[in-house]
Structure 1
Amino acid sequence: MYSHFQDAELENWHDFEVASKREIFALLRGIGEKNQLIRMLIQGEADVCVTSILDVDDTTNSVYLDCSIDQDQNKRVLASRRLSFETSLDKVRILFAAEQVEATTFEGNPAFKIAIPTSLIRLQRREYYRIATPVTNPVRILIPLPADLGGPTTFPLADISCGGIAILDNKMMLGNAIGKDYEGCRIDLPEIGQVSTSLQVRNSLDLTLLNNKTNRRLGCEFVNIPRGMLAYVQRYITRLERERNARIAGLN
């Protein structure tokens, strides 16, 4: 249901931000020269387009991107208010965004053009690894909401990493204020134990499902999580990884 990356996920990783124009230019040029595929997400949409960098022109401050053979998809890209991009270069994950995209041509063929981003995020695998939590028997978090908002309430998780979690708030109880803190939260990790931590909302994404119901996904960062609690999280991630690998091996 959810893409591996989200438009506002850039917010999660400000510590890994690259703001040097020379470095950004070099990274984008390297991505283009190695013909790395780039996943492009239109804000508010679930489907992901695949593109690649055709050229990076520092004289006009422009990045030229391949467009789709699907004309409807191209129209949605051009009409979008914001685009998120994810790719990798030498096993390093690269995230950036664009507020505006133009239709143009490159070497006689249709293309997209965006401005060279003023910043991008560069992540080593160990810094961003997250794993989806079970859907059928979801891991739950108890958030001590005040009485006027319903009192302590449990919510299912969508994924977990050593940096935080994604919460599914399908009843829209938590709001979507970026930067909002929730203290005294408790996550029950099956067969591992209970994790107590504070959370800060770092991003929010609303998705409309096929039945017209809306799902809200809140990306939350652990705040001052104790080292012992973080060890529980790491053990749980390792366990999920083992189970997933065992399932994959069983399918072969």
Structure 2
Amino acid sequence: MSLQDSSDATQAGSGPQDDIDAEAGAAQPDERYRLTHTSQIGTVLRDLSWQKCLITVRTRTGHQFVTSILHMDPVNRTFIFDWCNADAERQSLMTSDENAFSGLLRGVPVNFVAGRPSATRHEGGPAFVAAFPEKLYHFQRRRHFRARTLMTKGYRCEIRSPDNSVLALDIADLSLSGVGLRSKTVGEDRLPVGTTVSRCRLDFRELGKLDIDLQVVGHWLVGNDDSAIHHYGCAFVNPDGRMENFLQRLVFSLELALRG
């Protein structure tokens, strides 16, 4: 079991666009979730604005901050997002030609890369304006039934980090296409969206164990301070027929246990 983190990808010369392409490709190889038409992209950006969704922006140099989309202009094909007061992050953003945006829209991951923004004003305050992205990934809800787990069962996911330490997370739910994980101690800095997890071990105790490759496609935080819990949405990467048969039996057993 091993975990390939984003630092390896950076050293290999990849950037925000490479991370998002890799994430989208692993989560949905047939590209059904890639939007390229400006009207579709504008609709998602508008919904992000209306829902006041929090958006994480990551620049090519690795600087990161949280913002929100304030306005979408379908005529000029631009969108306005909230200002950043931190000098280092702001300068990195305004000198970067590739800035990765990621967030959740009604619990569904949205990812895209936008070019270098300009400073503007919105409702009397400072803001950024950028052109529509060329493509946007709007991952739909899982195609398969999702079986929740009983927390008392203690089902765990084990991931071995590059430093040979083991990350242990609770398994929250399971479907034929992915698994939901949660943890109070494993934050997004240790398991960022886009991470590929090789030979991750899913331990369902009396139901069996499964070693499988995962792609982290979503992260959200529930709660505050010491009570906060990190939730991760992970997609299975190319499971073979034997694994799919085992997953189908697992999902069925989990649902029976929950109903019982």
Determine which of 158, 169, 187 is the counterpart of 1:138: 158
Looking at both structures, which has the greater relative contact order when contacts are Cα pairs under 8 Å and sequence separation is at least 6?
2
- Pairs aligned (count): 188
Determine which of 49, 52, 65 is the counterpart of 2:81: 65
- 58 and 202 in structure 1: CA distance in 2 versus 1, 3 angstrom threshold: same
- 83 and 164 in structure 1: CA distance in 2 versus 1, 3 angstrom threshold: farther
SS in 1 for 2:238: strand
Shift of residue 22, structure 1, vs aligned partner: 1.2
Determine which of 134, 149, 157 is the counterpart of 1:118: 134
2:118 alignment partner in structure 1: 103
Contact 1:139 1:156 in 2 (8 A): yes
Shift of residue 158, structure 1, vs aligned partner: 7.9
For residues 202 and 86 of structure 1, what CA distance do their matches in structure 2 show? 13
Amino acid at match of 1:79: T
Amino acid at match of 1:189: D
> In the alignment, is residue 35 of structure 1 matched against residue 52 of structure 2?
yes
Contact 1:186 1:194 in 2 (8 A): no
Shift of residue 43, structure 1, vs aligned partner: 4.3
Determine which of 27, 35, 41 is the counterpart of 1:24: 41
For residues 78 and 87 of structure 1, what CA distance do their matches in structure 2 show? 20
- 223 and 81 in structure 1: CA distance in 2 versus 1, 3 angstrom threshold: farther
Shift of residue 202, structure 1, vs aligned partner: 10
% identical equivalent positions: 21
Shift of residue 30, structure 1, vs aligned partner: 2.2
Amino acid at match of 1:101: R
For residues 253 and 107 of structure 2, what CA distance do their matches in structure 1 show? 25
For residues 56 and 245 of structure 2, what CA distance do their matches in structure 1 show? 36
Shift of residue 196, structure 1, vs aligned partner: 6.6
User: Structure 1 stretches (4+) deviating beyond 6 angstroms?
Assistant: 154-161, 200-203, 235-238
TM-score (norm 1): 0.53
Amino acid at match of 1:97: V
SS in 1 for 2:142: helix
Determine which of 31, 49, 52 is the counterpart of 2:65: 49
Contact 2:158 2:202 in 1 (8 A): no
1:11 alignment partner in structure 2: 25
- 1:106-126 deviations in Å (ceiling 9; x for gaps): 235332222212222223443
Contact 1:51 1:67 in 2 (8 A): yes
RMSD between aligned alpha carbons? Answer: 4.8
For residues 127 and 90 of structure 1, what CA distance do their matches in structure 2 show? 16
- 1:51-86 deviations in Å (ceiling 9; x for gaps): 111222233321221121222221122234532222
Shift of residue 44, structure 1, vs aligned partner: 6.2
Shift of residue 25, structure 1, vs aligned partner: 0.9
1:86 alignment partner in structure 2: 102
What aligned pairs does 1:167-178 form with structure 2 within 5 A after superposition?
none
For residues 113 and 190 of structure 1, what CA distance do their matches in structure 2 show? 48
SS in 1 for 2:75: coil
Contact 2:55 2:102 in 1 (8 A): yes
2:226 alignment partner in structure 1: none
Shift of residue 187, structure 1, vs aligned partner: 4.8
1:189 alignment partner in structure 2: 203
For residues 97 and 34 of structure 2, what CA distance do their matches in structure 1 show? 22
Amino acid at match of 1:119: K
Contact 2:59 2:93 in 1 (8 A): yes
Q: Which runs of 5+ in 1 are unaligned?
A: 141-153, 166-181, 204-218, 243-252
Q: Which runs of 5+ in 2 are unaligned?
A: 7-18, 147-153, 180-197, 218-234
- 36 and 232 in structure 1: CA distance in 2 versus 1, 3 angstrom threshold: same
For residues 142 and 106 of structure 2, what CA distance do their matches in structure 1 show? 14
